[in-house]
């Protein structure tokens, strides 16, 4: 597998504060990789290190195969970033904003013209290209900022809260655009977000950071599963004598209820399948087996604060 980003024990301190601590990450190319974590977790510091805007205290990283300490110029040539502030010029038109940017990226005039059309059409803004930006809504400006980040056809896009402040419809449109860019053009998106629904919908992998430390890095599904409940509810009838199934490994308790449910508590990491098999063999009729999966929010709380599921 090709990686767009690889970090090796990447560390950055500010005085006695360790903002990023021994980070080891691998971001596969052509995917959306999300970074979640509370305020001050080190997410922005990580992006600034990866773009070569900050020097690591120790450790190293390669971005698109380039070393962050010695080849940041190449990294910025082939990647693009939309950080906290849009940095758009409000007193001029959308088109002029993109022209300035294209020139800053050392694109030729013909390249600039054709890319302006492509990126503005992508976000449905081409007809409004002559408008003065100060008259645009916040959502339109945010779209323009992402469009601008695509001007240089980056292989890697760093986005810090791209949908912050957008209404639900505009945010959904933005997410669709980002998915299209990844799926159709193979761009890698490195996404910092506090929006868990967005992370779950867009990201193939998520890293959870807290106090500069990596707590987890996995698919959203696996992160949720790791914090999921060990309680299983089985609906059915004709339950056998529970003494017959009590000894199956991984079962802590079995409680049949008069309403027809069987409440099962499993040991951490245990699976329910062997119990179901035994119950059926003992004559039970099973209608439904339900094991509650933690939401991403519950999983995040469990990881960051050590809170038990549902707390």
Among 34, 42, 56, 154, binds ligand ATP (CB under 6 A): 42
Nearer to ligand ATP, 83 or 178 (CB): 83
Q: How far is the CB of 116 from ligand ATP (least distance, A)?
A: 31
Distance, CA of 311 to CA of 296 (rounded, Å)? 13
Assess 44 for contact with ligand ATP (CB under 6 A): yes
Cβ neighbours, 10 Å, residue 18: 16
- Per the CB < 8 A criterion, the answer to whether 239 and 256 are in contact is yes
Q: Is 17 in the site for ligand ATP (CB under 6 A)?
A: yes
Q: Give the residue, chosen from 10, 19, 81, 304, that forms a contact with ligand ATP under the rule CB under 6 A.
A: 19
Within residues 206-225, the interface with ligand ATP by CB under 6 A covers none
Residue of the chain from 7, 11, 31, 45 that contacts ligand ATP (CB under 6 A): 45
- 17-28, strands of its sheet edge to edge: 17-28, 3-14, 58-63, 66-67
Does 28 help bind ligand ATP (rule: CB under 6 A)?
no
Q: Which of 23, 32, 41, 112 binds ligand ATP (CB under 6 A)?
A: 41
285 near ligand ATP, rule: CB under 6 A: no
Q: Interface with ligand ATP by CB under 6 A: which range of 41-49, 90-98, 125-133, 196-204?
A: 41-49
d(CA 155, CA 188): 6
- Distance CA(22)–CA(210), nearest Å, equals 12
> Which of 1, 8, 145 lies closest to 63, judged by CA?
8
Q: Is 164 in the site for ligand ATP (CB under 6 A)?
A: no
The Cα–Cα gap between 115 and 150 comes to 9
> Could you give the CA distance from residue 283 to residue 276 in angstroms, rounded to a whole number?
11
Binding site residues, ligand ATP, CB under 6 A: 14, 17, 19, 37, 39-45
């Amino acid at each position: 597998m090709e990686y767009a980003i690889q970090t090796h024990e990447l560390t950055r301190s500010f005085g006695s504060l360790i903002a990023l601590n021994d980070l080891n990450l691998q971001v596969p190319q052509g995917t959306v990789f999300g970074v979640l974590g509370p305020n001050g977790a080190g997410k922005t510091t990580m992006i600034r290190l990866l773009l070569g805007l900050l020097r690591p205290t120790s450790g190293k990283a390669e971005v698109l195969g380039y070393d962050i300490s010695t080849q940041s110029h190449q990294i910025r040539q082939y990647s693009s970033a939309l950080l906290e502030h849009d940095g758009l010029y409000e007193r001029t038109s959308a088109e002029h904003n993109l022209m300035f940017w294209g020139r800053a990226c050392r694109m030729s005039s013909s390249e600039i013209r054709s890319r302006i059309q492509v990126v503005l059409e992508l976000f449905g803004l081409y007809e409004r290209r002559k408008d003065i930006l100060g008259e645009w809504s916040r959502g339109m400006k945010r779209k323009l900022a992402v469009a601008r980040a695509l001007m240089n056809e980056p292989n890697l896009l760093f986005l810090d809260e791209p949908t912050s402040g957008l209404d639900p419809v505009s945010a959904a449109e933005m997410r669709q655009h980002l998915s299209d860019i990844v799926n159709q053009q193979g761009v890698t998106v490195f996404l910092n977000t506090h929006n868990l629904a967005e992370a779950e919908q867009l990201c193939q992998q998520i890293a959870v950071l807290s106090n500069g430390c990596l707590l987890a890095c996995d698919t959203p599904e696996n992160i949720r599963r790791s914090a999921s409940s060990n309680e299983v509810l089985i609906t059915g009838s004709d339950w056998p004598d529970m003494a017959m199934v009590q000894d199956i490994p991984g079962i802590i308790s079995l409680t049949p209820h008069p309403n027809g449910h069987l409440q099962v508590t499993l040991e951490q990491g245990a699976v329910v399948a062997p119990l179901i098999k035994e119950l059926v063999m003992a004559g039970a009729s099973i209608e439904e087996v339900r094991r509650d999966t933690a939401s991403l929010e519950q999983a995040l709380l469990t990881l960051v604060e050590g809170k038990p599921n549902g707390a």
